[in-house]
Amino acid sequence: MRCCENAIFGIPLHRNQLFIHDQQPLLMEEEAIETKSAVSSNNLPKSDVTKIIDNQRAFFNAGETRGVRFRIRQLKKLREALETHEPKLLEALKADLHKPELEAWSTEIGVMIAEIDYNLSHIRSWVRPRRVPTSLFFMPGKSRIYSEPFGVALIIGPWNFPVKNVFGPALAAMTAGNCCVLKPSEHAPHTAQAIADMVEEFFDPEYLIVVQGGIPETTELLKHKFDYLFFTGGTEIGRIIYQAAAKHLTPVTMELGGKSPCIVDDNSNIELTAKRIAWGKLLNSGQVCIAPDYVLVRKSVKKELIENLRKAISGFYGDDPKATDDYARIINDTHFERVKNLIEGDVVIGGDTDAKERYIAPTVIDNVKITDKVMQEEIFGPVLPLIEYEDIDEAIAIINNGEKPLALYLFAKSYDTRDKVLAETSSGGVCINETIMNFGSIELPFGGVGNSGFGAYNGKIGFDTFSHKKGVMTKSFFFDVKQKYPPYTKGNLNFIKFAVRKLI
């Protein structure tokens, strides 16, 4: 497959042109990024989008992506691309988010490589039409379910995991045989550029292309008809995207956010509980859609939890988290101000901020009430409110009074408590006695419910998301049910009543 010089057809290549946003690079020189395959704001003419989609659709219609060998080649190429560009991607993630290398590699690149390998070892069985039983009424005949790619998919990514949240859905779409237009977040500009460079070097634009830009470019893209739309981002923007997709009846997956609760019900291992909560909350400085947003803690164990959170945080980062390379920064000034303003009340750990570095210390707020400001929005930062309860029903009621969360975490020894919480709450996923880890399992679906989204991906579930399930029945001419044809008689009706009840 050839490599293109210009990543986007007909769109002028604006070197040294940056996007409009409030991002200040943290580590790199504030030099203009070479935007080879980028377009600047308001610089994505309709005709260019039409051309991108037309070319991808023509390539899709030519049928190459339907072949399993083509898909396997592309998946291997994606792995090679990620491995080749690993240093540049890590550097870009450092510049955008001060992402520590271990976090960046494991949560953005390592998980991708693991999932590519998983998909490669299963793809042949996934693409095979699946035979299902054919009931007596339809005999002689055969029934199969074909997994058919949709066509051209648009994947819109957020800034917090800018690599994983673009290539995770892209991998699922590619495994299922689709072409993709990728729109990374403009708020992680170094990573968006690194992604564009990587895709440009390794893939044909008729198959995989990156369109860079912000709201104007995304709005332009959304005016066009795609065959599938996969959006990861905030709930409010999700509504805009969903409405745009509805105009074209484009099927969508919505990976959204919200407030993910964490219940601490007993003190079976409070030291490890605190460590796991602190890790899940402070990864990427709390800018994780599945981070424990707030803690509902049984009154009797709260004091012990706070002491152990303090111990865990100083164990991770020492006395000054700002001085360590292992702690990320807030993505931009807007989010810094937003998160900083949520810090008020009974701050028992942290609370320090530094606007110049967009640094917010790991912060724990005690005695939070459900009406407090910090409980009115997804925190998406390293601030952890604690709300105490005495009876598990109170904790469940608090969760059920809010929108359905993306993740729910429960630390509880009692099987009755686990069963009760599982039965009486609804969330995208649940992890018992740990945080975050469940979403890394390729066998488990990653997706929300209600306001935290709908649809899911990861491994086979991702393949299914990007495949239309086409039911195919093949009948024989050997036998024909004559009673189904007019003219209808009483005898025909009786036969059909019997057949529908007994033979289907």
Residues in the site for ligand NAD, rule: CB under 6 A?
A: 156-161, 165, 183, 185-187, 214-215, 218-219, 232-234, 237, 240, 255-257, 289, 378, 380, 406, 448, 453
**Least distance (Å) between residue 159 CB and ligand NAD:** 4
**Least distance (Å) between residue 407 CB and ligand NAD:** 9
Nearer to ligand NAD, 308 or 425 (CB): 425
Amino acid occupying residue 333? D
Query: Does the N-terminal peptide bond of residue 382 adopt cis geometry, omega within 30 degrees of 0?
Result: no
**Rounded CA gap, 314 and 274, in Å?**
12
**Least distance (Å) between residue 66 CB and ligand NAD:** 28
Whether the CB-CB separation of 258 and 405 falls below 8 Å is answered with yes
**Least distance (Å) between residue 396 CB and ligand NAD:** 23
Q: Is 289 tagged catalytic?
A: yes
Nearer to ligand NAD, 75 or 407 (CB): 407
Determine the 3-state secondary structure of 364 from DSSP. strand
Identify the helix (H) or strand (E) that includes residue 307. helix 299-317
Nearer to ligand NAD, 189 or 453 (CB): 453
Cβ atoms within 10 Å, residue 483: 15
Whether the CB-CB separation of 111 and 440 falls below 8 Å is answered with yes
**Least distance (Å) between residue 258 CB and ligand NAD:** 7
Helices 46-61 & 215-222, crossing angle to 10 degrees? 50
Which of 93, 88, 21, 99 has its CA nearest to residue 286? 99
Nearer to ligand NAD, 154 or 306 (CB): 154
**Rounded CA gap, 380 and 281, in Å?**
9
Residue nearest to ligand NAD (CB): 257
Nearer to ligand NAD, 239 or 299 (CB): 239
**Least distance (Å) between residue 268 CB and ligand NAD:** 30
Nearer to ligand NAD, 119 or 218 (CB): 218
**Least distance (Å) between residue 253 CB and ligand NAD:** 10
**Rounded CA gap, 480 and 248, in Å?**
40
Which of 300, 305, 301 has its CA nearest to residue 278? 305
Compute the radius of gyration of the chain from its Cα atoms: 26
**Least distance (Å) between residue 45 CB and ligand NAD:** 17
**What are the two backbone dihedrals, phi and then psi, of residue 477, each rounded to the nearest 5 degrees?**
-85, 0
Whether the CB-CB separation of 181 and 154 falls below 8 Å is answered with yes
Nearer to ligand NAD, 380 or 389 (CB): 380
Nearer to ligand NAD, 40 or 165 (CB): 165
Amino acid occupying residue 324? T
Find where tokens 């699946």 sit.
Answer: 130
Q: Which of 217, 255, 378, 388 is catalytic?
A: 255
CA dihedral 420, 425, 431, 432 (to 10 degrees): -20
For 156-190, give one letter per residue: b (16+ CB within 10 A) or e. bbbbbbbbbbbbbbbbbbbbbbbbbbbbbbbbbbb
**Rounded CA gap, 187 and 288, in Å?**
15
**Rounded CA gap, 451 and 374, in Å?**
18
Q: Is 255 tagged catalytic?
A: yes
Q: Which of 91, 289, 378, 431 is catalytic?
A: 289
Give the catalytic positions in this structure: 255, 289
